[in-house]
Each structure stands twice: as C-alpha cells, then as structure tokens.
A and B are shown apart, each in its own frame.
Chain A
Amino acid sequence: MLGKSPWKMAVGATAIALLAAGCGSGDSEESTATSNTVSIGIAEPQHLIPTNTTESNGAEVLASLFYPLVDFNEQNEPVEVAAESITPDKTNTTWTVKLKPGFTFHNGEPVIAQNYVDAWNYGAYGPNGQGGSYFFSSIAGYADLQSKDPDGEEGPQKAPDPKAKKLTGLKAVDDSTIEIKLAAPFASFKSVLGYTVFYPLPKAAFSADGVLAEGFEDAIIGNGPFKMKGTWQHDAQIQVEKVADFKGQVPKIDGITWKIYQEDSAQYADLVAGNLDVQTQIPIESLASASADLGDRFQKSPNSTFQFVGFPTFQKEFSDVRVRQAISMAINRQEITDQVFLGSQTPATSFVSPVVAGYRENTCGDNCKYDPAKAKELYTAAKGPAELKITYNADGPHKAWVDATCNQIKAALGVNCTGVGEPKFADLLTKVEKKEPVGLIRLGWIMDYPLMENYLGPLYSTEGSSNYYGYSNADFDRLVEEGRSAATPEEAIAKWQQAEDILAKEMPVIPLRNAQNVFGYSENVTNVSVDLFQKVNLYEIERTS
C-alpha cells in the first residue's frame, strides 16, 4: 500500500503535465465550429483604451472594434476610410477632417466630431498616463496638458495639475468637422491619423468630462465593424461579433474570437489541431515542420517589424557607448537568422524597416558588423559589466534567439549572459516603465503609420511613447521635429536620415533583424492575409464552409 501511492502520484503528475502542455486552451466554445466566426491567436493585450494601446496585440483587437479615419493602400499612402476628406491648409499646419455621415457607435450613439476631440483630449492629458500620449504632441497646446513632477516619479511630491485640460488645437466645428491645429507644420500628418490612438470614443466612455467610466476598458464601445460580445475575459479570450448594417466596408465573417495564449507553442498546437484558425507568428521551433503540418496554409508576407534590444541608458554600466558598440559587434546576426529563424528574418543593418521611404542600407555601419575581436577589445577598454542579461517576454517567440544571442555574447566577450523570461509582455513593459534593472530589453517595433519618422520619434525622442530605455539627445529631437515640419516628404526624409545617423553613432539600441509575417491558418478559413502591421485583414478573411 505504501509503495503504491507515490507511484500513482508520479504517474498522475505526468498525465496532468501532458494535458496542461498539450491543450493550452482547447476548451473554447464549440459553437465556433458551426457559426461563421473565426478565431485568431494573440497574447494578452496590455490595454484596450485606444490612446493607451501601443503594443500590437491590443492594436489588433482594436482594429476589429474601431473604424479608422484613414487606412493605407498598397503603396503605403493614406486613404480616407471613416473620414470623408482630410485637407491641410497651405502651410500644413491646420488640418480639416470631414467625417462620413451615418456612422454610429455600438451603443447607438452617432459618431460626431466631438467624440474624436474628447478621446484625443483624454489621451493627451498628462495625468491620465496614456501610453499613446506622445502621438498628440504635434497638436497645438499639448505642452499645457503636461506637468513635470518636481522631484521625479519616486519623490513624495505630486505633480501639479497641468495648466489646461483640453488641447487648444482641437475643435469640433460642427458634428462632422474636426479642425486640428498643429504646433508646427507636419506634411505627413494624414498618415499619422491612421494610428490606433486616433480612434474616437463614445460619450458612454466618460462618466464625467474627461474621466473614463469605470469598467469601460473591459467592454469597449467602438465604431467599427465588430462589437464586443460580453467583456474582455483576461488571459482567456475577447469575443467580438458583427455589427448589423455597418455603414463602412462589411467583413465577410460574423465574428472573431481573439484567443489569448500565454505560450505561442500552445497556440501553434491549437492551430495544427484545428482549434485555432489563424496564428500570425509561427513559433521558431515549429518553423522547420510548419510546411509539413500546414502545407500551403503556412505563408509568409512582408511586414514592418524591426527587432532590436534596447539598453537602459539610465543605468550607469551601459552609459559608455563603447559597451553598447561592443555588445552589438559580438552578435552574429546572420548566424541567428539562418539557424534560428531558418531565413524567415533578415539581419538589420539600419534603424528603420526597408518598407518605409527613406530607408538606407547599412546605416549602422561597423557597429552592426560581427567582429568578436574588436568587440572584446572595446568591451575590455570600457570595463563593461561582467554580468549581462537580456529580458524578454515569454509569451512571444523569443527564448530561442535570446539564448542564442546570449551564447554569442558569452563567446565573444567572455562575460556571463543570461536570458530572463518575463511571463507576459505587459509585465515586461510595466517593469521597464518603472525603470527596474532588467538589463538589456528585447523589443520589437511594428510601425504605426508608414513613415520613417515612426521608427525614430516614438522610440528615441526624449518624450517618445516607447522610449523605454530613457534615451535623450537634443539634436536628435530637433532633427525629428524639423523633419516633421518640412514642407515636402523629401526634405523630411533628409532630416530624418540625419537623425538616424545620430543613432548609429550612439547606439541606444542594437538593431538585430527585420522580420516578415510567418503565419499559418486552419482549413476552416481562406483568404487570409497579414499586413505590414502584422494584423490579419479582417475584411477579407472568410470561412471555407
């Protein structure tokens, strides 16, 4: 009797382990098999308030719930969608947005200009702490909505209330006209309006003027082709269903289940088993077998992802530029793209993606060339830290290449390097925002709008929305700003290229790879395409039967 129970226990534990590993979330409602809905895998979004959503999972979900002002055609030019027209004045400073009539929010409210103004004011108001606040900084009056904490975030004093609560540059002229006054001319502002943070919010979103209603984030009301079915079931799923007689482009499916996975290998297992319809990023360990598993349902398409690691420049041990150069030179990018990604990604030698205008090859120069001897020399001279770690989010396909990168760094520099997995991307970002010592940070950037500026401003300017590493360079900020105010796209690109050259000298981040979409889908769906933003085209996807 004694001898038996531990045996049972061991066998039982293994059985449960296998179950837990094999069926990540195979227990979703089976009704999806019969109705005209599809399921798409994501990781847990950090936020779902549009002005706070700067990561790709939340943005993907929001793309189903909202209808943007502009979308992009194949040439990456902005085309009006929810907007009738978007016209600048002669100096590109004042932009007039005319809305298409007839659109309503999911709760029946008509979409009016004031909804956009309210949402943007909320996003721009500093004390609301919205991650996408940066994107409103080009609008006049933005500075008055911010206030600086007198003794830093950690100090006991609270930041004073900002001078104003509303952007002076925003005005709802009438129900269908928004007038946007920019602080400085910005010739490509129309492209910016296509980004997630520029979605409108209904009156129901606010409990008082400028105060978001409790629980709104879990039951978002948008103006898009799909509406929430129930609420956001954290770490499980988000269900959306088709809006009856939607005025814009009507999708061919009746609903989407955004299935949330903690592990992409579980997501892949579900995809192969037919429990999931679309996975937008096939995990590394399955790349070799994916064509066998999925046949021609395993596909590739270009996207705008730029993979890099950031240095917390606020930490002393990384303040010496030679340390940053040395680590960059210690990485053999070609070997990683060949061996780990089986050629599905390409080594990055610049700070912007090849898909945007203004891209130049090899702006990073020698700093991105694999040169272990020089790396070691620089590192020793600069007395770089003996312990390095690269923090990544374990809910994305990063462990394999982070470990491989660490091994290369170890071999080249003779230091110890470990990859540290944070369970969720949202946790990682939160830690980084609090400036906890996480070491090097694995980051990726999918563009928000197809401009070279999008790879520079948000990532490296002092107030940038995704400047997690605390990089600050006045010259860089000025050049990005000058590029935005330039009269023509060509002049703008020239300025931005100068800004990129500063990055190449200072190396606040290490460019690693340019990715493409490597996606797969089940036999239940067809017409699946994934765009430059790594989003599934929700208007074209169809069920087969």
Chain B
Amino acid sequence: MSDMNSVTAAEAPEKLSAQPRRGKSDKNRSLAGDAWNDLRKSKIFWFAVVLVAAVLLMAAWPSLFTSADPNECALNRKHAGPSGGAIFGYDFQGCDVYARTIYGARNSIIVGIASTALAGIIGIIFGLSSGYFGGAVDAVLSRIIDIMLSIPFLLAGIVLSRRLSSDPNDNGLLAVILTLGLLTWTSSARVMRSAVIASKSQDYVAAGRMLGAGPGRLMFRHILPNSIASFIVVLTILLGVNIGVEATLSFLGVGLKGDAISWGIAISEGTGFARVASGPLVWPAVFLGLTVLAFIMLGDAIRDAFDPKLR
C-alpha cells in the first residue's frame, strides 16, 4: 500500500540483490527505525511537522510573531481594516485580530496537550490492566469504557465544564482540561487493551514470566513498550481533536471565559458581527482549522508508518 511496496513490485528483479545489502547495513533496524524511514519520505508528514512546529512556537513565544499587545484595544478602531502591524484588521472592541489570534494559540495548545496527557494516563491504566489481567477485571473495565462511550459527548462536556468552573472569575482553563481529559480517554484505552492482549501471548512475555517476573515488571518493562506505538498515534490524533473541541466549548460559552484569549471565544464573538466584518471570525477559524488538521495529519502519517498491517 505504501510506496515501498510498489517500488519492490515494479523493480522485482533488483529485489533479490537489494535485500541482503539492506539487511546488512541496517542490522539493528527496529520498528521505529523503519517507521522513521517511511516518515522521512512522506510529504504529508513534513507538512504537518512544519505546521505543528509553527503553532508550538506561537504558543511558546507569541512575541516572536507580533509585537502588539493583544489586550490593548481601543473602541475608535472598531472593525477597522488592516493597518501597520495589524495585518488582519481590528475586531469589534478594536483589538488587533492578528495579535489575538497568535496569542490564542497558547491556550489551545495547553488545553490540547494537558487534556490529551490526562486522557493518555487514564487510557494506559484502563487499557493495560484490562488487557493484562483479562477475565473479570477486563469485563468490568470494558463495561466502564462502554458506558463512557454511550454518553453524548457534547452534552457531557457542557454539563461537566459548567460544574467544574461555576466560579465566573476563573478563566476555565483547568475545567476544560479536566472535562476533555475525562471524556476522551476511551478510544486510547481500547487501543491499549487490544495491543496488550496481542503482545501478552508473545514468547518474550512467557519467558519473562517463567523467569519469575511479577505482573508489574511484565506490564511496564515488556508489554507496555511493545504496545505503545499505536497508542501514541491515537493520542496524536486526539490532541488535534481536543483542540477543536476546546474551541467548540468556548464557542458555546462553557469553555474558556473571562479575559482568556482563545480561538473559540474569538470565533464566538466574531459570529455576531460576521455580516459587518468577517475578519475577526475568519482568521481564528483558519488558524484553528490548520492546527487541528496538522495534528490529525501528523497522527495519520505516524500511524501509516507504524502500522505493520499497512506496510
């Protein structure tokens, strides 16, 4: 399916002679090494990497991109067109749309990474234990996952984030992270579980067990490292999705709030005036779209590289 196959099929005569040479030079090539070889050639991967790097840079040092203060707004510039440093113009409150869009990256990235990390931790705990122990533990944990999956996501998100930040004074960052983390771990847990079940029956696990390794050592030293690849892929994609969902919650007024700068809030505020001035709506939406796309493409590319079934 990947270009490697087509190359080998087309250049079949050379294959025989090529094979041993490659095997010799890359003696210790691991799964990761193979994957990296694949990724290096993928245009999608590099496109995603460049975008992700740009967004991360924006989040870490927004002042590299703009010297304007995103909180410096003046009503007399309401909906004014682009000028000087404000290449995207000004919004209703007379704030620099470009500066606010750049500064908005930080909250998105923080929410994305933190909530995905939380989801990952819960996912590892659930997936590893249900896959490794099997039986009753598996049955109980899997049913919990089923129950979580049956809850309508947005409904649960609205209820949960509202409850978690009932104080209108905080900016809702922690509440959004918790909400997303607690609601999105299920897919990673399922992937983890099936990967663990697959590697549990491998010989090296049996060997380890015979040599007297306890469940903890087996799980974390032998099974986990060998089943983590697809799990990481799921998390990368989840990161992109969570950034999008944060914007959704903020748009609905239950995510970030107060003086927090966020793409979701900007889109929500821009919507009301879309017919008067579209810039304050369009630009944060474009940035949000590209960021989500970048992370999902990155995840997709890594998945393609890692998944042996797709080779």
Contacts and interface: CB of A to CB of B under 8 A. Distances in A.
A212 interface: no
A339 B75 contact: yes
Contacts of B73: 403-404, 407
Interface in B282-306: 292, 296, 299-300, 303
Given A3-B299, A285-B272, A391-B168, A339 B78 contact: yes
A365 B74 CA distance: 25
A17 B248 contact: yes
B191 A407 contact: no
Nearest to A288: B276
Given A2-B233, A400-B93, A407-B94, 4 more contacts: A3-B299, A13-B248, A288-B276, A407-B73
B187 A21 contact: no
Nearest to B292: A10
Contact of A400 (B92, B95, B187, B230): B92
Contact of B241 (A2, A9, A340, A410): A9
A2 B92 contact: no
* Closest CB pairs A-B (n = 4): A285-B272, A407-B73, A418-B259, A6-B241
A419 B74 CA distance: 16
B87 interface: no
Given A335-B75, A391-B168, A407-B93, A3 B241 contact: no
Contacts of A423: 168
A422 B168 contact: yes
A427 B248 CA distance: 25
B32 interface: no
Contacts of A263: 253
Given A289-B275, A403-B93, A339 B299 contact: no
Interface string A249-289: 00000000000000101000000000000000001011011
Given A404-B75, A411-B74, A9 B248 contact: no
Contacts of A421: 168, 257
Interface in B229-268: 230, 233-234, 237-238, 240-241, 244-245, 248, 251-253, 257-259
A394 interface: yes
B75 A2 contact: no
Given A285-B92, A407-B73, A418-B258, A5 B292 contact: no
Contacts of A283: 272
Interface string A1-38: 01101110110111011001100000000000000000
Interface string A367-378: 000000000000
Interface in B40-77: 71-76
B234 A21 contact: no
A6 B71 contact: no
B213 interface: no
A20 B252 CA distance: 8
Interface in A310-338: 332, 335-336
A263 B272 CA distance: 12
A21 B250 CA distance: 12
A389 B72 CA distance: 16
A340 B251 CA distance: 21
A384 B237 CA distance: 48
A404 B248 CA distance: 24
Nearest to B92: A400
B181 to A, nearest CB: 15
A59 B174 CA distance: 39
Contact of B169 (A21, A403, A410, A420): A420
A6 B188 CA distance: 11
Nearest to B273: A285
Contacts, number: 96
21 contacts: A2-B237, A2-B303, A3-B299, A3-B300, A3-B303, A6-B234, A7-B296, A9-B153, A17-B154, A20-B252, A21-B252, A265-B272, A285-B273, A288-B276, A335-B75, A339-B78, A394-B253, A407-B95, A410-B71, A420-B168, A421-B168
Contact of B76 (A9, A14, A289, A339): A339
Contacts of A516: none
A17 B246 CA distance: 12
A435 to B, nearest CB: 16
Contacts of A335: 75-76
B236 to A, nearest CB: 10
Most buried by A among B95, B251, B272: B272
A390 to B, nearest CB: 11
A335 B95 CA distance: 15
A5 B257 CA distance: 29
Contacts of B94: 407
A408 interface: yes
Given A2-B230, A286-B272, A420-B258, A389 B245 contact: no
B200 to A, nearest CB: 20
Nearest to A14: B248
A10 B245 contact: yes
Contacts of B272: 265, 283, 285-286
A289 B230 contact: no
A20 B154 contact: yes
Given A404-B93, A420-B258, A13 B71 contact: no
Contact of B74 (A10, A394, A407): A407
Contacts of A5: 187
Contacts of A288: 273, 275-276
Nearest to A16: B154
Given A7-B296, A285-B272, A340 B75 contact: yes
Contact of B75 (A7, A17, A289, A407): A407
Contacts of A13: 153-154, 244-245, 248
A286 B303 CA distance: 46
A263 B252 CA distance: 11
A17 to B, nearest CB: 5
A317 B52 CA distance: 46
Interface string B135-156: 0000000000000000001100
